[in-house]
Amino acid sequence: MLGASIKEDMEEQHRKKEKRRFVLLTRLKQNKVAFLSLWFLVVVHAVVFIGPVLWPITPDELTDAGALAGWTLQHPFGTDDLGRDVFARMLHGGRVTLLVGLCAMLFSLIIGTIIGACAGFFGKVVEAVLMRITEAMMAIPNFFFVLVALTVLGTTPFMVVLVIALTGWVEIARVVYGETLKWKEYEFVEAANAAGASAKRILLKYVVPQILPSIIVSGTLAIAWAILTESAISYLGLGIQPPTPTWGNMLQNSQQYIWTAPILGVLPGVAITIVVLAYNFLGDGLRDALDPRFAKK
Amino acid sequence: MIRFLLNRFGQSIILLFIVTVITFFLINLAPGGPTGVMRMDASPDERQAVIERLGLDQPVIVRYFEWVGNAVTGDLGTSFNSSEAVVERIAERLPYTMELTVFTIIFSVIAGIILGVISALKRGKAADHVINFSSVIGLSVPSFWLGLMLILLFSVELGWLPSSGVGPRGADFDFGGWMAHLAMPVLILSTTVLPNIVRFTRSSMLEVISQNYIRTARSKGAKEFVVLYVHALRNAMIPIISIIGVLIPRLLSGAVITEAIFGWTGIGTLIIEAANGRDYPLIMGITVVITLVVIISNLLVDIIYSQVDPRVKNMA
């Protein structure tokens, strides 16, 4: 009798857990703009990651069409100042830009989660030191830091990603810190602690999974931020260097031809804007979906 | 109040310490470092002489504390590239950045509150959607691209506004020219903070409108106008002041790009020059000054906040 009721109880718990896992997606579906953004991003990523494989022209190839050629079937977006196929460069540039965004976001998430979770969980000296550093990073206008760091460290793709990540983790750390403070008070964490689980295990198995939804929201917004930052540092000539195309350095390069071939600047500009826009909409939608007040509406 | 200020002072010292340590060690330990910027044809003897003159043979920690010792007395060293005092070079440029950012804050706060209130009052209607959508766009457009498009439109195409520079100063100063030179930079820089102020005002206003005292005001028969603008907006404004403090670092970040687009000779273009020229004392100087600007403006925001919010005022 008792056994059966415990079993029912466990099944009920399991169902609840399953439901919670999908609640984010279900709620997101109700937000049309955010859900559309999600699909749009899936398509864009598929295009820029698969497209370069299918498109026969390489981004560095000097085509026969000549410089600044108009739109034809062979070159759907024409050619640039050196006679390179703009469509191929948009595809490859998108791949690099989105990869920079994704990698910078992942680095930021790792740094931010470790710092935020440790500060919240261990408290005392660890908290004091880590949170002071976080506050300091928040108070420095981070573009000054990015600029100086890239000038002295060089502008290899790895450094660009690293420097963007080193300024992007702060917001994530703050969110994770707040959430960790909240979750570490719960009975199941105390129980794990009493059962003798190590701090690492408690954090990884009990605390971080609870914070995961908030981390996803921060991560989505972090990608948007990273893509914009990459384009801004490209404008100052400190981003990923040509001939490797990125939407940022294509935009920077297009400035000289703004009269003769305005489309060269419009394409990457619009591409950056709508991708960042979609990430922002998705991030906002996810945040709303996570908001406990959402249920009341 | 005194306790609050002392506490703040302590925090500021820690903040300055962390920021300067990060920057100092970054620029001195990076490959190339300060010695890497000398001319390629410098002979080993010349190189050695420069290293000794600048004290670069000392360990980095020793140099850091020497630098701090000088900085405390207000001596930020001499610029590598122009042999002027760093303090002077910064003092020359800082007012322009302050001008740009102060105008941007004023514009963004006024426009942000108006748009935010409209958005909140028309919640779910077309106006709300348009404002929401535009603020996300504002956050998503690369600001330098938007700046270039504005230059194309207003300076090249229409010829209404000057495309760059800070305008005539000193004896030839004229107000109209000043405003014309400020217009586009302020507009572009405001895209970095205006969307946040709009969104924040909207949610703050929505929160306040659902409070009991608003219902009380309505039920005692106050006019809708009075309820919204006297009872609601005044209370909704309080948290808006606090977000301005948070947005100041972002505003200064945005100023670097904005100044670069419009040839605005502020501290943003100075840091670009300093970084390109590897002018290490200048880089350190700008870092300290910009951190101080953030600290002081946050302090100002807190003081205003405590004066506006009677709850905080009475607590202190």
Map out the domains of chain B with their CATH numbers: 24-75 (no CATH), 95-312 (1.10.3720.10)
Residues of B in contact with A135 (CB under 8 A): 15
Closest residue in B to A273 (Cα–Cα): B141
Q: Is residue A4 part of a domain?
A: no
A85: β partners: A79
Measure CB to CB from residue A281 to each of B136, B253, B271 and give the nearest one: B136
Q: Let me know: does B15 contact B50? Beta carbons within 8 Å.
A: no
pLDDT at B206 (0 to 100): 85
Q: Let me know: does B236 contact B205? Beta carbons within 8 Å.
A: yes
**ipTM score over 0.95, yes or no:** no
Q: Let me know: does A91 contact A57? Beta carbons within 8 Å.
A: no
Q: Let me know: does B119 contact B125? Beta carbons within 8 Å.
A: no
Q: Which of A107, A108, A86, A89 is nearest to A97 (CA)?
A: A89
Residues of A in contact with B32 (CB under 8 A): 152
Q: Is residue A238 part of a domain?
A: yes
Q: Is residue A63 part of a domain?
A: no
pLDDT at B62 (0 to 100): 81
A139/B15 Cβ within 8 A = yes
pLDDT digits (tens, 9 = 90+) for A172-182: 998 899 888 88
* Arithmetic mean of pLDDT, A102-112: 93
Name the residue with tokens 């300055």.
B16
* Arithmetic mean of pLDDT, A45-65: 77
pLDDT value at A62 more than 60: yes
The residue among A230 and B238 whose pLDDT is bigger is A230
pLDDT at B105 (0 to 100): 92
Cβ neighbours, 10 Å, residue A284 = 21
d(CA A273, CA A265): 12
B271/A151 Cβ within 8 A = no
What is the extent of the structural domain holding A101?
78-294
A144/B142 Cβ within 8 A = no
For the CA atoms of A172, B195, B152, A71, the dihedral, rounded to the nearest 10 degrees, stands at 60
d(CA B264, CA B272): 12
Mutate to test the interface with B, among A40, A125, A138, A148 (most CBs of B within 10 A): A148
Long-range contacts of A167-170 (CB under 8 A, 24+ apart): A167/A137, A167/A142, A167/A229, A168/A104, A168/A105, A168/A107, A168/A108, A168/A112, A168/A222, A168/A225, A168/A226, A168/A229, A169/A107, A169/A108, A169/A109, A169/A111, A169/A112, A169/A115, A169/A137, A170/A112, A170/A134, A170/A137, A170/A138, A170/A142
**Residue B151: HSE in the Cβ half-sphere, 13 Å Cα cutoff:** 19
Closest residue in B to A270 (Cα–Cα): B141
Q: Is residue A33 part of a domain?
A: no
Mind telling me how many Å the CA of B19 is from chain A's nearest CA? 6
Q: What is the DSSP string of B34-80?
A: GGGGS-TT--HHHHHHHHHHTTTTS-HHHHHHHHHHHHHTT---B-T
pLDDT at B101 (0 to 100): 92
Mind telling me how many Å the CA of B42 is from chain A's nearest CA? 20
Mutate to test the interface with B, among A31, A40, A140 (most CBs of B within 10 A): A140
Closest residue in A to B27 (Cα–Cα): A152
Burial of B60 (0-12, 13-18, 19+ CB in 10 A): middle
pLDDT value at A296 more than 50: no
pLDDT at B204 (0 to 100): 85
The residue among A134 and A261 whose pLDDT is bigger is A134
Residue A222 sits in a domain whose CATH number is 1.10.3720.10
Q: Which of B35, B62, B23, B82 is nearest to B285 (CA)?
A: B23
Measure CB to CB from residue B19 to each of A140, A151, A154 and give the nearest one: A140
Q: Is residue A24 part of a domain?
A: no
Q: Let me know: does A170 contact A112? Beta carbons within 8 Å.
A: yes
Residues of A in contact with B253 (CB under 8 A): 141-144
Q: Which of B288, B270, B277, B109 is nearest to B194 (CA)?
A: B109
Intervals of chain B under pLDDT 50:
316
Q: Is residue A46 part of a domain?
A: no
Q: Is residue A220 part of a domain?
A: yes
Measure CB to CB from residue A141 to each of B18, B252, B295 and give the nearest one: B252
B249/A141 Cβ within 8 A = yes
How many domains are there within chain A? 1
Q: What is the DSSP string of B130-168?
A: HHHHHHHHHHHS-HHHHHHHHIIIIIIIS--S-SSS---
Give the predicted TM-score (pTM) of the model. 0.83
Q: Is residue A126 part of a domain?
A: yes
Measure CB to CB from residue B272 to each of A154, A232, A236 and give the nearest one: A236
Q: Considering chain A, what is the average pLDDT of its residues? A: 82
B18/A133 Cβ within 8 A = yes
d(CA B290, CA B308): 27
d(CA A16, CA A261): 58
B250/A141 Cβ within 8 A = yes
Per-residue exposure over A163-182, b if at least 16 CB sit within 10 Å of its own CB, e if not: bbbbbbbbbbbbbbbebbee
